[in-house]
Copies of this chain bind each other. A is one copy, B any other.
Amino acid sequence: MTVPPPPWRRGPSPRRRAEKPLLSRDLVVKTALEMLAAEGFEAVSMRRIAQQLETGPASLYAHVANKEELDELMLDAVLGGVPVPEPDPENWAEQVKEQVRLQVRAMVAYPGIAKVAWNTPVPVTPHSLRQGEAMLAILRAGGLDLKQAVFAGDALSLYAKAYAYEASSWTFGDYDEAEVAERGRQMADYMRSLPAGAFPNLLQSGQFFTGETSKDRFEFALAMFVGGLQSLVRA
């Protein structure tokens, strides 16, 4: 009943392979990174990467176990661009802050990549470990014992992730300016609708909560935390 398909010309064109660069793990990651930098984390899907490489989504799974692994490879590549300093016991507090600044800056350049760090229970990629060790080295040079250094390093990496993610959202189009303004208005309206003096502090705090103060808020938090560490060392 069903005739076999004619043999002249079946399957994809035979010598197309030479045209496009051969698929490889690095190429997949590189393509994903470009998309990430340009359009943010949410825009990076297996289908779109495949489309960019003029193939189907299934082809990617020959080079990458799954999306999660690809995410970690992207994060690792981003962290690979962050240099680590030689620990200087005289200057450890500033070194700590600078390292966090560098990490945040790198992550913000690839909007949303910080999200991956949240979903990674134990970081195992080389550059994640390099950053972790570097932070521990600085903290120990500053006089903290191992346990203190580990706890502080954990909190600092959490800071870095958190602010990087927040900053991504502010600067990138995760939520647009109009919506934020609208919500700000809603909030002020609601507070004013209540008995006077229900929100005395919050009502006046809108001015400090803009995208421009994001950097100041970050530096404040960092200064407070590192200040606490310094008190600990002195004791």
Binding site for B on A (CB under 8 A): 118-119, 121-124, 126, 129, 132-133, 136-137, 140, 146-152, 154-155, 158-159, 161-163, 165-166, 169-170, 175, 179-180, 183-184, 186-187, 190-191, 198-202, 204-205, 208-209, 216-217, 220-221, 223-229, 231-232
Contacts and interface: CB of A to CB of B under 8 A. Distances in A.
A155 B201 contact: no
Copies of this chain, tallied across the complex = 2
B221 A151 contact: yes
Interface of chain A, main secondary structure: helix
B129 A205 contact: no
11 contacts: A122-B180, A124-B187, A129-B190, A149-B201, A151-B208, A152-B221, A154-B217, A158-B159, A158-B163, A162-B162, A226-B228
Contacts of A191: 129
B132 A202 contact: yes
B224 A183 contact: no
Given A152-B224, A154-B217, A158-B159, 19 more contacts: A118-B165, A121-B179, A122-B183, A123-B187, A124-B186, A129-B202, A133-B202, A136-B201, A136-B205, A149-B201, A149-B205, A150-B209, A152-B220, A155-B217, A155-B224, A158-B221, A221-B225, A224-B228, A224-B232
B187 A137 contact: no
A232 B133 CA distance: 30
A123 B204 CA distance: 15
Contact of A224 (B136, B163, B170, B225): B225
A232 B159 CA distance: 20
Contact of A122 (B148, B155, B187): B187
